[in-house]
Amino acid sequence: MAQPFISVIINNYNYAQFVGTAIESALAQTYPHREIIVVDDGSTDESREVIQRYADRVQVVFKENGGQASAFHAGVAAARGEVICFLDSDDYWAPHLLERVAARWDDSLAMVEWRMECVDPDGKPLGRSFPIHTPYEGDLRPILTRRIYYPSTPTSGNAFARRAVEAVFPLDESFWRISADAPLLMGAPFYGKFAFIDETLSFYRVHGGNLHYGIPPRWERLQREVRHLLAREPVIRTHAERQGLRVHPRLVYSLPTLNLGRLMLLLGRRGIPETRHDTLAQLIYYGIRAVWEYDAPWNFRQRLSWMPPFLLAMVNRRKALYKAARLMFWSAREEDIARFVQEAG
């Protein structure tokens, strides 16, 4: 097929120290058939001054703060490409990324994913990467109607067909102020096939301000994470129903991480409205079941390592909470985990 025209949308909010590197990595792409759009979502630091330096080489959109979904909407409205890549402004790309995407692209695809490496603020590798194992390829609908996950990468590790983005949009801007890649990752595979490039092409900075990684555990952070993971289920259900597909009745219990987070909220007495009907017996049963049914290359020992929080929940709340926090917040320091558990009372 003809080489696709690719729109690169860089979304930024108060990342003045990183956004220049993200823009430079987009400008350095060896693939010529592309445009670069930088959306600043009402930054209050020096971001706009940094972005303005590139105004002769990129399209700049300055808007009032509305959150990530709002920035996505603004970027797509300005974009002309048949393929759309979102680049978070604290991440950056290898120079041949778009070339690899274009070589893999065809009209049957809804999205292409590639490997991302975690790095520190200075770009030093941290020995961790996304996705955690090699993804499936082809039609993901049979998987997503049974599970609210598949091996995926954050925002900067994906390219989407414009028709898939438009099928998923508009997003609820008030809810998806953060994690706005989630409805795209869950919804896009209903509108075409999925392909994976088994090569590290993006770099995910862990710098202390990320949503999921590199910051100490906080109860409000866990509540937010559980809320967004739960919201995957209605996204999947909506797009499945559009195509006459039925979803599994236990879909919302299919992700071990989500079951663990719900258990932590229950044990910590920090429930949210979305979890008000959770019971300890439910979460233990479905939590253990999801771990052993989790379709990942976990060995027996890895699956066994997820058992203590669920088993201890029946006899020792604090020990169960500690074990769960250690699994959930893998990058946290020991003293931060202890403080988190102590706050539960």
What tens digit of pLDDT does each residue of 68-85 get? 999 999 999 999 999 999
Angstrom distance (rounded) from CA 9 to CA 214: 25
* 210 close to 217: Cβ distance less than 8 angstroms: no
% of the chain residues with pLDDT over 70: 97
Cis peptide before 170 (omega within 30 of 0): yes
pLDDT of residue 211: 45
Cis peptide before 151 (omega within 30 of 0): no
pLDDT of residue 135: 84
Amino acid at site 13: Y
List of E strands, the chain: 6-12, 34-41, 59-63, 83-88, 92-93, 109-119, 125-130, 158-161, 193-205
| Average pLDDT over every residue of 312-318 | 96
pLDDT of residue 216: 80
pLDDT of residue 124: 93
pLDDT of residue 134: 82
Give the pTM. 0.93
pLDDT: which is higher, 244 or 297: 244
Task: Determine the straight-line distance between the first and last CA of the chain, rounded to whole angstroms.
Answer: 61
* 13 close to 90: Cβ distance less than 8 angstroms: no
Q: Residue 209's pLDDT band (boundaries 50, 70, 90)?
A: low
Q: How many residues does the chain have?
A: 345
Amino acid at site 58: V
